[in-house]
Amino acid sequence: MPHQGSCLCGQTKITIASDQQQQLICHCLDCRQTSGSAFATNAIVLQKDVTITGPIKTYESKAATGNIVTRVFCGICGSAISHKSAYFGDKQAVQTGNFADFAKIPFLAEIFIKDRWTGLAPIEGAAQVQANP
How confident is residue 49, by pLDDT bands cut at 50, 70 and 90?
A: very high
Helix (H) / strand (E) containing 35: helix 29-35
Cβ atoms of 61 and 85 closer than 8 Å:
no
How confident is residue 133, by pLDDT bands cut at 50, 70 and 90?
A: low
Query: Which of 58, 56, 41, 45 lies closest to 19, judged by CA?
Result: 45
Residue 24 pLDDT greater than 90, yes or no: yes
| The pLDDT of residue 48 | 97
Answer whether residue 120 is part of any domain: yes
Query: Which of 50, 44, 63 lies closest to 17, judged by CA?
Result: 50
Answer whether residue 113 is part of any domain: yes
Residue 1 pLDDT greater than 80, yes or no: no
CATH number of the domain where residue 12 is located: 2.170.150.70
Answer whether residue 51 is part of any domain: yes
What is the residue range of 122's domain? Answer: 3-128
Residues with Cβ within 8 Å of 124's Cβ and at least 6 positions away in sequence, in order, are none
Write out pLDDT tens, residues 60-115: 999 877 889 999 999 999 999 999 998 889 999 999 999 999 999 999 999 999 99
Residue 101 C-alpha from the chain's centroid = 15
Answer whether residue 133 is part of any domain: no
Write out pLDDT tens, residues 26-38: 999 999 999 999 9
Number of domains in the chain: 1
